[in-house]
Amino acid sequence: MISKEEKEIHKNAQDIINQLSVILRNAQIHNPGNIAVTTAIERFLSLINHLTHVEKSLALELVGEYFYCDDVRVRYSLEHLLNFDYLVREFKKREIGKIVFSHGVRPEDVQVFLKAFIAAGFSHDPYDTISGMMSNVEKIHVAILKKIKDGEREDARKVIKKVYYNAVSFSKGVMTKIKAGEKVNIKKAKRIVESMVDHLLEEENLLIGMTAIKDYDEYTYHHSVNVSIFSVALGQRLGMNKKMMTELGLVALFHDIGKIEIPNEILNKTTSLTEDEWRIMKRHPVWGVRALLTLRGLDQTAIRSSIVAFEHHMNYDFTGYPRVRQYAELDLYSRIVSVVDQYDAMTSARVYSRIPLAPDKALSIMMERAGKQLDPLLFKIFTNMVGVFPIGSLVMLDTKELGLVYESDIVFPDRPRVMIIVDRKGERLLKGPVVNLTEKDENGIYHRTIKITLDPNKYKINLAEYLL
Ligand SMILES: [Fe+2]
Ligand SMILES: [Fe+2]
């Protein structure tokens, strides 16, 4: 459990972000003297001045997609998600990376800040505008958003790749061992998932990006890891703490473990399954329970894992399998795993259909199932997380270039980073540039915009070739 003190820090930080976004929203609609604005400012200042009483100052910093309050990363919480996203977007738009409040901030200071903030929103040099207009305000200091350098980005990518493949080879090892009747070391599984959670907290986009790599031959292992990564990322959006995220990641990693009992001829069959073969396939949830309960050292997590293995195909409305007569409610972890499991399976070259679906196609099919087979709220948070154009989507730009979505941007979901793979002249590039769709020219016009998504399979594009 997290300590009381830690809870308090998070609560305060969430309040600051909420109240700040309320002030900014109000200030953009009403004039500065409006009662809604002045009341919000007063509330905000009483909080800030209370919190800066001892330390004398308080810093709110944006790093990547996250806010840090005095160097502590502020956890996402579901109820405040909209305010969070709003503030991240508004900060980025103005190139603001940090705001430091000193003790004794007055309402007049906030009014100047609001004016500068709004003006910066219309400026071509937003940061210069805001810092210029605030040069006389002593108690509120803004600092520029740090851009992450390309070289550092590449290093981070290498580390993430290693973490991912480590997990894949581990999941392969576990399955092979259990199949052979050997004992499996669960402590190691915990370490692997812990490392995934740590890296997810630092580099969520990069790690999620790895899930776009689907390997035909090693499907089950990649799939297990992908489901684990997506689940943890979803758990993080639900405000889970690290311990819960690790447990969820472990549980998700083992959701399909019952497949070890399915003969390879069925598992690897390239044509449609017969009715008998389907019957065998549909037993993997039950076999999963059996496999998990014989593991040693998993204790509580073992029980939770076996529940999820049992429930992950039951569906939110109990129309799936195994069929049950009376059932109260699916475990939260099962509902999470169901959503991400369907997505990863549909976008991979196995199960359900032999041809993988493009990410946006899969999401639109799932949209139909939301509220029926899938938990509607979890599905909504999931789509919000993977974005309108999930990593690996093939897109046509208004420049006539073709590109692959390389890294998504939670703040501008329709403006991800895209790797150009076919240039304007129709020439295929093997190592094309990665362009940022949020970039504008000096007139404020975007350099590139996505026109439509295309099906990568139609164009025989091997994602792994590009994304690695
Ligand atoms: Fe399954
Ligand atoms: Fe699965």
CATH number of the structural domain spanning residue 267: 1.10.3210.10
Q: Which ligand is nearest to the CA of 337?
A: 2
Among candidate residues 379, 374, 360, 319, the one with its CA nearest the CA of residue 456 = 360
Highest-confidence segment of 18-32, 34-48, 397-411: 34-48
Q: What is the pLDDT of residue 219?
A: 83
Q: Does the pLDDT of residue 417 top 60, yes or no?
A: yes
State yes or no: cis peptide before 322, omega within 30 of 0: yes
The pLDDT value given to residue 78? 65
Asked if 172 and 229 sit in the same domain, the reply is yes
Q: Tokens 């919190």 identify what position?
A: 51
Amino acid of residue 199: H
Nearest ligand, measured from the Cα of 309:
1
Residue 223 pLDDT class (50, 70, 90 cuts) = very high
**What is residue 398's three-state secondary structure?**
coil
Q: How many CA atoms lie within 13 A of 442 on its CB side?
A: 0
Residues 8 and 56 in one domain: yes
- Are 170 and 282 in a shared domain? yes
Do 99 and 141 contact (CB within 8 A), yes or no? yes
What's the gap in Å between 108 CA and the centre of ligand 2? 57
253 shares its domain with 382: yes
68 in the same domain as 125: yes
Kindly state whether residues 102 and 184 are assigned to the same domain: no
Asked if residue 79 and residue 182 are part of one domain, the reply reads no
Domain boundary among 109, 144, 179: 144
Distance from Cα 313 to the centre of ligand 2, integer Å: 9
CA of 76 to the centre of ligand 2 (A): 27
Q: How remote is the CA of residue 286 from the centroid of ligand 1, in Å?
A: 10
Instruction: Using the mean position of ligand 2's atoms as its centre, give its distance from the Cα of residue 255 in Å.
Output: 6
Looking at the structure, do residues 108 and 217 belong to the same domain, yes or no? no
Instruction: Give strand ranges (E) for 103-219.
Output: 140-144
Report the domain count for the chain. 3
Question: pLDDT band at residue 397, thresholds of 50, 70 and 90?
Answer: very high
pLDDT in the model for residue 193: 93
Same domain for 115 and 242: no
Check whether 353 has a pLDDT greater than 60: no
Please check the confidence at residue 352 and state whether its pLDDT lies above 50. no
Residues 264 and 323 in one domain: yes
Q: What is the pLDDT of residue 5?
A: 72
pLDDT of residue 99: 94
- Residue 410: the pLDDT is 61
Q: Are residues 89 and 139 in the same domain?
A: yes
Residue 1: predicted pLDDT: 46
Residues 173, 286 within the same domain: yes
Whether the predicted pLDDT of 283 surpasses 50:
yes
Average pLDDT rounded to a whole number, residues 290-299: 78
14 pLDDT tier (thresholds 50, 70, 90) = confident
Domain end point (choices 335, 363, 386): 386
Question: Which domain range does residue 12 map to?
Answer: 4-144
Q: Which pLDDT score, from 0 to 100, does residue 305 have?
A: 93
| Final residue in a domain of this structure, among 101, 127, 144 | 144
Task: Report the pLDDT value the prediction gives residue 45, as an integer from 0 to 100.
Answer: 93
What's the average model confidence in pLDDT over 355-362? 82
